[in-house]
């Protein structure tokens, strides 16, 4: 009898625990994210303490330091304490302009001005099927590099939504992503929900900061205005954040297809990831596929060749998300 009650209790907890389902922000508010182990430079996932006051946060980096372009043989964090007043650009990009080809209803070329209205069209396109492979929460060399190897072998370009703190630790991996022609999106500086979603201004500050880190490491002045909200931009609660992002000249993208590699703390086997992708791909002619190159995503790497094979069998061509290059 006690054993039966215990099993029922575990099932209830398993169903109610707020896992990273990739569908709503509220499901992620209580989850800790990337933290660096004292004895290793490799980031690890840390679950939150039962006490809200102990929710892990990032310790600010030393002030008045610059981002070195050179990197040591052993990965180490890049010091990037950038004065807040320098983060916000002096002029806002004209993201509200109408692109030249907007009247045709086509997606913009890389050089065209991208609006939110136009970007939203990636979810529904007529004609040939399109798949946009995206990877969130990196870079993490142990998993990002094998993913890049697979994409290179398959001659496919993908979009990587990177986190500033991870970029600082692994600038060489970011450079490889960029040099091999993949897209880069802005996934905030810290990915810490408590900080990001306490106020829209905090969210924008993290976007500006991550953009600056990306520009310095990649030695470019190009803007990184394609955003993915940690947890997604779904729901009424996120409305002021969506508005703030667009008003500041950014555009955002979510997803309509997932592998399920972040739906639970326990890693799903590669076969289950493929099955979940097939399930969520059904009925869509244009797929924005959510996957992750974060720590503990080795099964994402293992499943990727089968995922690509399936999408090709469905007649999909692979494209970069507009605004990612």
Kindly state the percentage of the chain with pLDDT values over 90: 63
The pLDDT of residue 107? 52
Q: CB–CB of 203/227 below 8 Å? A: no
Structure confidence by residue, pLDDT tens digits, 15-31: 433 333 333 333 333 33
Catalytic residue among 137, 182, 292, 293: 292
pLDDT at residue 144 tops 90: yes
pLDDT at residue 96 tops 50: no
Report, as an integer, the average pLDDT of 157-176: 98
- CA-closest candidate to residue 186, choices 157, 151, 212, 154: 212
Cα(224)–Cα(93) distance, integer angstroms? 11
* Whether residue 292 lies in the annotated active site: yes
Structure confidence by residue, pLDDT tens digits, 225-264: 999 999 999 999 999 999 999 999 999 999 999 999 999 9
Within a domain: residue 9? Answer: no
User: 120 lies in which domain range?
Assistant: 17-51+115-318
Within a domain: residue 200? Answer: yes
DSSP 135: E
Q: CB–CB of 74/41 below 8 Å? A: yes
CATH code for the domain of 120: 3.20.20.370
Q: Give the residue carrying structure tokens 């600056």.
A: 212
Residue 266's φ and ψ, nearest 5 degrees, are: -75, 130
Within a domain: residue 7? Answer: no
Q: Is pTM beyond 0.75 here?
A: no
Mean pLDDT of the chain: 77
DSSP codes joined into one string, 204-242: HHHHHHHHHHHHHHHT------EE--TT-S-SGGGHHHH
Structure confidence by residue, pLDDT tens digits, 20-60: 333 333 333 333 444 333 333 444 443 333 333 333 333 33
Within a domain: residue 70? Answer: no
pLDDT at residue 67 tops 60: no
Within a domain: residue 277? Answer: yes
Within a domain: residue 215? Answer: yes
Q: CB–CB of 164/189 below 8 Å? A: yes
Within a domain: residue 63? Answer: no
* Whether residue 136 lies in the annotated active site: yes
pLDDT band, very low/low/confident/very high, at 109 (cuts 50, 70, 90):
very low
Cα(193)–Cα(200) distance, integer angstroms? 12
What is the count of structural domains for the chain?
1
Contact residues for 188 (Cβ-Cβ < 8 A; gap 6+): 163, 164, 196, 203, 206, 207, 210, 230
The pLDDT of residue 89? 56
Within a domain: residue 66? Answer: no
Catalytic residue among 106, 136, 169, 191: 136
The pLDDT of residue 145? 98
Contact residues for 288 (Cβ-Cβ < 8 A; gap 6+): 122, 123, 132, 134, 253, 254, 255, 256, 257, 321
């Amino acid at each position: 009898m006690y054993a039966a009650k215990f099993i029922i209790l575990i099932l209830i907890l398993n169903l109610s625990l707020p896992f990273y389902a990739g569908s709503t922000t509220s499901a992620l508010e209580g989850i800790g994210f990337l933290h660096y182990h004292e004895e290793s430079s490799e980031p690890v996932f840390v679950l939150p303490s039962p006490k809200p006051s102990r929710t892990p946060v990032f310790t600010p980096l030393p002030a008045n330091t610059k981002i070195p372009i050179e990197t040591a043989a052993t990965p180490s964090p890049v010091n990037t304490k950038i004065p807040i007043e320098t983060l916000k650009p002096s002029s806002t990009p004209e993201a509200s302009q109408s692109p030249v080809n907007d009247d045709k209803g086509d997606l913009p070329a890389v050089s065209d001005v991208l609006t939110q209205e136009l970007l939203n069209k990636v979810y529904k396109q007529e004609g040939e099927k399109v798949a946009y492979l995206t990877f969130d929460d990196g870079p993490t060399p142990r998993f990002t590099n094998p993913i890049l190897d697979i994409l290179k072998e398959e001659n496919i370009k993908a979009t990587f939504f990177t986190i500033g703190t991870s970029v600082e630790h692994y600038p060489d991996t970011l450079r490889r992503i960029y040099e091999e022609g993949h897209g880069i999106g802005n996934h905030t500086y810290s990915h810490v929900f408590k900080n990001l979603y306490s106020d829209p201004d905090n969210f924008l500050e993290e976007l500006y900061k991550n953009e600056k880190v990306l520009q310095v490491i990649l030695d470019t002045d190009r803007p990184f205005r394609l955003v993915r909200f940690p947890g997604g931009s779904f729901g009424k609660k996120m409305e002021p954040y969506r508005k703030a992002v667009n008003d500041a000249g950014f555009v955002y993208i979510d997803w309509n297809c997932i592998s399920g590699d972040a739906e639970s703390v326990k890693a799903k086997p590669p076969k289950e990831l493929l099955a979940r992708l097939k399930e969520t791909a059904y009925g869509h002619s244009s797929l924005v596929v959510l996957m992750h190159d974060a720590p503990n995503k080795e099964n994402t790497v293992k499943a990727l060749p089968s995922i690509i094979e399936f999408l090709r069998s469905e007649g999909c061509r692979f494209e970069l998300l507009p605004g990612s290059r």
